Amino acid sequence: MIDYYYKYDDTALLYTVQKERFNGLFTLEGKFYSKDENEGLDYTNLLYMPKVRVVSDINLRLGERADPTVGTFNIIGLPVNTNENTGLIVEITRLNSDIDGDL
C-alpha cells in the first residue's frame, strides 16, 4: 500500500514501473466520485478489489502541478470467496456525501 502526501512547489517527474516488477497478486483500494443523475448530488465512492493482477506498466506523475490523472494501468480482477460473498471481484461503497467536496 502506498500513500503519498507532500507539498511540492516545483515541476513534476514521470516514473514508469514495468509490469515485470508486478508478477504477483495485489489488493486494490481507491476512491472515486460520482454525481446522482436525479438530484445532482456529489458522492464519494470507495473501491475495493481483493485480488488483482497488474497486466500493464504503471505510469505515475508526481508533483503539485501534475495532471490530476496520477496513474494509468490495466488490471485483471480475480474472484475470491469471503464470508459474505462468493466470487467477489469488486466492492464499491457509496458514502452519503462527497467527503472531499470542501477541499
Residue 5, SS3?
coil
- Indicate whether 3 belongs to any domain: no
Give all strands (DSSP E) within the chain, no chain letters.
13-17, 26-35, 42-54, 58-62, 71-72, 75-77, 91-94
User: The pTM is what?
Assistant: 0.62
- Indicate whether 99 belongs to any domain: no
Distance between CA atoms of residues 98 and 103, nearest Å: 10
Strand partners, 60: 15, 71
- Please give the tally of structural domains in the chain: 1
pLDDT in tens, 29-80: 988 888 888 888 888 899 999 999 888 877 766 666 666 665 667 889 999 9
Expressed as residue numbers, the domain containing 79 is 13-94
